[in-house]
Amino acid sequence: MQVIRYPEKNTWNALLQRPVFDTRELEATVSAILADVKVTGDAALRKYTQQFDKVTLTDIRVTTAEFEAADAILDEPLKNAIRQAALNIEAFHRAQVESVTLIETMPGVQCWRKPVGIEKVGLYIPGGTAPLFSTILMLAIPARLAGCNEIVLCTPPGKDGLVHPAVLWAAHFTGITQVFKTGGVQAIGAMAYGTESVPKVYKIFGPGNQYVTCAKQLVNSAGTAIDMPAGPSEVAVFADDACVPAFVAADLLSQAEHGADSQVLLVTTSEKVIVEVEKEVAAQLALLPRKELAAQALDNSKLILVKDRDEAMDMLNDYAPEHLIMACENDEALATRVINAGSVFLGNYSPESAGDYASGTNHTLPTNGYATAYSGVSVDSFVKKITFQRLTREGLLALAPSIEAMAAAEGLDAHKNAVSIRIKSN
């Protein structure tokens, strides 16, 4: 990790850059795959699964027998862990379900808003170096609470042509029966356009690598909604002398192990913290099974020493991290200064891993600086909010002068007449 001490504010923009990729070449590759899926459907899914995953598929859809086999294979302690996480996630997200509130804006004029679940949604669950079955809980539970009628899940198969048993068990546990063995760009295309096997959906959710993110953005520009333009995972930590350096190092490594394109950032007011965290990172990294991947991510990462807490918060808000850990004195008071972050973890005993798995908050969050404008996934992500209104004759009579005056000023006489004709009748 690179150590930077007391950087000038005019250098922050360059200093806080995420890893850069050649998106022009990326878009060309992704566009070609999407076009192929749109035209040839399942044939394209089989072709790209063979090309990228080295797996020859006969059935794209997961069978009942495969769900049953996953249930038999998965050990009971892991099932219980998933059940516990699901309970917490459901408790947190159930509180987000809105009731309908009728507002009388003036006598005889009633307005209300009704949340309606998006009818068909698609969930993308990455496989690759880590089968993210926890993401199923984060997406399927709020989708069910929102009232989505059809939930489709796509995930890449392993080398044996099967989906990881924990992914299948979590899917079945959350009520998902439509699971398809296809990953990457082709999975996004399948859900956006529909194929002979995979149903077309109205909105696609889920994290992924640069290719998946690019595919989501391209299908979004063509009319399929997406949750957010999320990319590789990241964490920023603010720490002072109240932190436990070993904990901070563990948090940095927990994100670094996601992959070479992840980034971690430590901002601190203490030189001592930098020295001790560096030492702990080296010691803990050596013991990790995924140390090669984590080491590559650390090459993109920085330890930054700043002069005070105010400067630290300004820098972190500029960075707008997906995850922000505040391991510092008076963390809750300082957290009131946070304006750009996906999810915030306060104190020495709130590891980012808690939010990733089981505390209850959602781990599908904006990355790459999108936390300046996007929220993480919630029940709201899975609903449309439709407004309703009812005016009585008396209500329209009272409101008519305002409507007519405004319509006339805009030169929209038919708009004015739609009111005038009513108040002149009877």
Across the 426 residues of the chain, what is the mean pLDDT of every consecutive 10-residue run?
A: 95 89 84 98 97 93 97 97 98 97 97 98 87 95 98 95 96 97 97 98 93 94 92 91 98 90 94 98 95 90 96 98 97 98 98 97 94 96 98 97 98 98 89
CA distance 382 to 318: 29
**CATH class of the structural domain 23-226:** alpha beta
Tally of CB atoms within 10 A around 403: 16
Active-site residue list: 322-323
What integer pLDDT is reported at residue 261 of this predicted model?
80
CA distance 26 to 143: 31
Which residues in the chain are classed under CATH 3.40.50.1980?
A: 2-15+232-360, 23-226
CA distance 269 to 316: 13
The binding site for Zn(2+) comprises 255, 258, 356, 415
Radius of gyration of the chain (CA): 25
**CATH class of the structural domain 2-15+232-360:** alpha beta
What integer pLDDT is reported at residue 45 of this predicted model?
98
Q: Are 252 and 283 in contact (CB under 8 A)?
A: no
CA distance 47 to 188: 15
The binding site for substrate comprises 233, 255, 258, 323, 356, 410, 415
Q: Which of 395, 421, 378, 418 is nearest to 98 (CA)?
A: 378
Terminal Cα distance for the chain, rounded: 79
3 state DSSP class of 310:
helix
The binding site comprises 124, 186, 209, 233, 255, 258, 323, 356, 410, 415
Q: Where are the alpha helices (DSSP H) in 222-308?
A: 245-256, 271-285, 291-299
What integer pLDDT is reported at residue 394 of this predicted model?
96
What integer pLDDT is reported at residue 128 of this predicted model?
66
What integer pLDDT is reported at residue 339 of this predicted model?
98
Structure tokens at 45: 């899914």
Structure tokens at 81: 């862990």
CA distance 419 to 98: 33
What integer pLDDT is reported at residue 209 of this predicted model?
84
Which residues in the chain are classed under CATH 1.20.5.1300?
A: 392-424
Amino acid symbol at 339: I
Backbone angles phi, psi at 344, to 5 degrees: -115, 140
CA distance 255 to 268: 18
Q: Are 237 and 266 in contact (CB under 8 A)?
A: yes
Residues in CB range of 307: below 8 A, 6 or more apart: 6, 269
CA distance 39 to 134: 33
CA distances for 367 relative to 210, 238, 371, angstroms: 12, 18, 7
Q: Which of 247, 220, 188 is nearest to 34 (CA)?
A: 188
CATH topology of domain 392-424: 1.20.5
Query: In the sheet where 343-346 sits, what is the strand order?
Result: 2-5, 302-305, 263-268, 234-239, 323-327, 343-346
Amino acid symbol at 408: A
Residues in CB range of 262: below 8 A, 6 or more apart: 232, 233, 234, 255, 256, 297, 300
To the nearest 10°, the Cα dihedral for 206, 211, 217, 222? -110
